[in-house]
A = this chain, B = another copy of it.
């Protein structure tokens, strides 16, 4: 399965329309069970998470997986109601149009403070949509935290010892 990679800054017009970066569209197409050549993929936009600082896009497939997990919990259980509330009320379907664009509803633009430009950020199984300045700030913050605490080395070591770590997790 293809992954969301890279960054792209696109314009948002008065109607709230933005182009989805073409490479992201390819991933969305692959992740929409109903998609076929010549048509446009649907996907899910999640808002209200991550402290309302950005929006997140998930392919239908990965969202379906999540929904399946939740629907295995007992119907009407507290836990399920809470999860359902957050996953379903704070997300909408979005459909890519003929020109590769989506419309960001006013509410979502407001939540992420998006006005005339939107930064698309690949995150592997999902992508994020940021107001460009907010994104820069967030990126700076991350870098700062990394270097201040000398975490850089530690984080990358997670990658190197992946299999060992995995085993450790499984054993526990």
Residues A67 and B159 in contact, CB atoms below 8 Å apart: no
Which residues of chain A from 83 to 102 have a CB within 8 Å of any chain B CB?
Answer: 83-93
Alpha-carbon gap, A5 to B7, bound state (A): 27
A69-B3 contact given A23-B93, A123-B84, CB 8 Å threshold: no
| Residues of B close to A49: CB separation below 8 A | 155, 159
Residue from the list B67, B78, B142, B158 in contact with A124, Cβ < 8 A? B67
Alpha-carbon gap, A109 to B49, bound state (A): 31
- CB of A145 within 8 Å of the partner chain: yes
Residues B121 and A89 in contact, CB atoms below 8 Å apart: yes
Residue from the list B72, B79, B88, B125 in contact with A123, Cβ < 8 A? B88
Residues A82 and B145 in contact, CB atoms below 8 Å apart: yes
Alpha-carbon gap, A2 to B44, bound state (A): 11
Minimum CB–CB distance for A146 against chain B, Å: 6
Q: How extensive is the interface on chain A, given as a class?
A: 35 or more
Minimum CB–CB distance for A28 against chain B, Å: 15
- CB of A103 within 8 Å of the partner chain: no
A87-B166 contact given A82-B145, A93-B2, A93-B23, CB 8 Å threshold: no
Interchain residue pairs A-B with the least CB separation, the first 10: A6-B92, A88-B122, A88-B124, A89-B121, A66-B158, A5-B91, A65-B162, A84-B124, A84-B123, A5-B92
Known: A6-B88, A125-B162. 16 other contacts (CB 8 A): A5-B91, A6-B89, A7-B90, A49-B159, A65-B162, A65-B166, A67-B124, A69-B165, A69-B169, A71-B124, A71-B125, A79-B151, A82-B142, A83-B158, A84-B123, A85-B142
